[in-house]
């Protein structure tokens, strides 16, 4: 089938083909941006910060020693793995470091979009925001590499969920880099807040807004080798 424009026939192009081309172009643009961010990294600086965050006894929560777990440092190096490498495989974070993860190899093949159910394979990072469906942990780890934090919850207590959503929403309105999403894999009636190399995980019965906000205020943007200029850091 052909359409006519000003008396001239023009080829008919299937909508699916146009959409497919658009997706490919979007993926290429995304990967170029990612490459530019990575190229500008001072990997030695971030590797040192990664070690400091994990070893600290004064920061909130517990340190997660990504460098020992993955036999490397951020950015990699001679004979060392990259603790922040982009992979296209499922990660066994539960065995490696416990759940939810606080860094490590993660997905980054393309931007994720707004819905977990329609996200491209191996996508990352997850956009800042509040979600009511679970994302793959591998996608959310990438959000932490961009200077952000993830608030994870596994609870049926709607009052707690509403309070977490209100807390995160107020900070999103101030351009803070946060993701809030359910994460049933970490066990029932549990809340956690993570940044790169740091995790505070606790039962819902121990939740207070102050606990979550203290972690956010202390750890936000502290590790941000891939943070986009003007995006909250």
Distance (Å, rounded) from C-alpha 54 to C-alpha 44? 16
The DSSP-derived string for 88-135 is SS---HHHHT-SS--SSSB--SS---S-GGGPPTT--PPPSEE-SSPP
The beta-strand segments (E) located in the chain are 2-5, 8-11, 62-63, 72-73, 81-82, 129-130, 149-154, 178-182, 190-195, 198-203
pLDDT at residue 217, as a whole number: 97
Residues linked to residue 189 through DSSP beta bridges, in sequence order: none
pLDDT at residue 155, as a whole number: 98
Distance (Å, rounded) from C-alpha 232 to C-alpha 10? 46
pTM: 0.83
The closest of 61, 76, 75 to 150, measured between CA atoms, is 61
The closest of 50, 80, 77, 76 to 64, measured between CA atoms, is 50
pLDDT at residue 149, as a whole number: 97
pLDDT at residue 229, as a whole number: 58
pLDDT at residue 23, as a whole number: 41
pLDDT at residue 147, as a whole number: 94
Which pairing describes strands 149-154 and 178-182: parallel, antiparallel, or unpaired?
parallel
In this structure, what are the phi and psi dihedrals at residue 183, rounded to the nearest 5 degrees?
-150, 80
Distance (Å, rounded) from C-alpha 137 to C-alpha 91? 9
pLDDT tens for the chain, 233 residues long, are 444 444 555 444 454 433 343 344 444 334 434 444 444 579 999 999 999 999 999 999 999 999 999 999 999 998 999 999 999 999 999 999 999 999 999 999 999 999 999 999 999 999 999 999 999 999 999 999 999 999 999 999 999 999 999 999 999 999 999 999 999 999 999 999 999 999 999 999 999 999 999 999 999 999 999 876 556 78
């Amino acid at each position: 089938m052909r359409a006519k424009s000003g008396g001239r026939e023009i080829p008919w192009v299937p909508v699916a083909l146009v959409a497919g081309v658009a997706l490919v172009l979007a993926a290429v643009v995304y990967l170029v941006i990612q490459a530019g961010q990575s190229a500008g990294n001072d990997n030695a600086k971030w590797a040192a910060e990664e070690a400091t965050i994990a070893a600290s006894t004064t920061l909130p929560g517990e340190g997660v020693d990504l460098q020992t777990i993955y036999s490397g440092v951020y950015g990699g190096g001679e004979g060392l793995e990259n603790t922040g490498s982009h992979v296209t495989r499922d990660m066994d974070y539960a065995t490696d470091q416990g759940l939810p993860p606080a860094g490590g190899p993660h997905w980054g093949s393309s931007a994720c979009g707004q819905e977990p159910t329609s996200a491209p394979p191996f996508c990352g990072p997850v956009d800042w925001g509040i979600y009511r469906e679970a994302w793959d942990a591998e996608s959310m780890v990438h959000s932490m590499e961009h200077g952000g934090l993830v608030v994870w919850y596994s609870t049926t207590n709607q009052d707690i969920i509403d309070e977490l959503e209100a807390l995160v929403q107020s900070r999103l309105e101030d351009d803070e880099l946060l993701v809030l999403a359910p994460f049933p894999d970490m066990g029932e009636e549990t809340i956690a807040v993570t940044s790169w190399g740091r995790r505070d995980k606790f039962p819902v019965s121990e939740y207070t807004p102050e606990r979550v906000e203290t972690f956010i205020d202390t750890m936000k943007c502290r590790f941000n080798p891939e943070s986009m200029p003007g995006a909250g850091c």
